[in-house]
A and B are shown apart, each in its own frame.
Chain A
């Protein structure tokens, strides 16, 4: 698998719960970025990880957190889920050849 893979593809959670989304980066890419795409909106930057450290953050509250592992894969964690967190979450890995997006995880909070 050389592209960006995300798991799970779909997820339903209850308000107040916590969720972890996973992303495997494309081979050769060492930077991972996460975006939130709400219905009818363009993707919005959440944060980025480079060499296992957060390397930039968008306008999202601290209950959105992440990790990057030595193999450059990444997790997005969201605590205390709110109804407005329902969205498509996109992971993108990047390297010298540019950005590659994954297919996303569709999170529904009920």
Chain B
């Protein structure tokens, strides 16, 4: 069965500290993984996708097929990074997402 697991509901870090938001997936095919972010009172928006291997707002994520993980990382957290983060598996055959339950990141001053 396809599944995305985000084990942490809440992650609090101090400004300037490194951040790692964990994501594990279960999928028998070749995964397409994404991170979405939802800032307070804003819509869900794409942060990054594993295919592009880009860094957005200082965040990166590497797909590790051996560990079936796609953790989101940032070396130095900023207060404006406080938001809800969702890891999502995209099923290209059906063109739908399987989302994790999300992790709320709080960056403390």
Contacts and interface: CB of A to CB of B under 8 A. Distances in A.
Interface of A: 31, 33, 35, 40-45, 48, 55-56, 58, 90, 94, 98-99, 101-104
B46 A98 contact: yes
B57 interface: no
For chain B, the bracket of interface size reads 10 to 19
Contacts of B45: 101
A44 B95 contact: no
B95 A48 contact: yes
B101 A102 contact: no
A61 to B, nearest CB: 18
B29 to A, nearest CB: 16
Nearest to A46: B96
A107 to B, nearest CB: 17
Given A42-B86, A101-B44, A102-B43, A94 B95 contact: yes
Given A41-B101, A43-B86, A58-B96, 17 more contacts: A35-B99, A41-B102, A42-B4, A42-B86, A42-B99, A43-B44, A43-B97, A43-B99, A45-B97, A45-B98, A48-B94, A48-B96, A56-B94, A90-B44, A102-B43, A103-B42, A103-B43
Given A43-B44, A101-B44, A56 B99 contact: no
Tell me which of B42, B99, B101 has the highest count of chain A C-beta atoms within 10 A of its own C-beta: B99
A102 B97 CA distance: 15
Contact of A40 (B42, B97, B101): B101
Given A41-B101, A42-B101, A56 B96 contact: yes
Contacts of B100: 42
10 contacts: A42-B4, A42-B100, A43-B86, A44-B99, A45-B97, A48-B95, A56-B94, A90-B44, A99-B97, A101-B45
Nearest to B9: A40
Interface string B14-46: 000000000000000000000000000011111
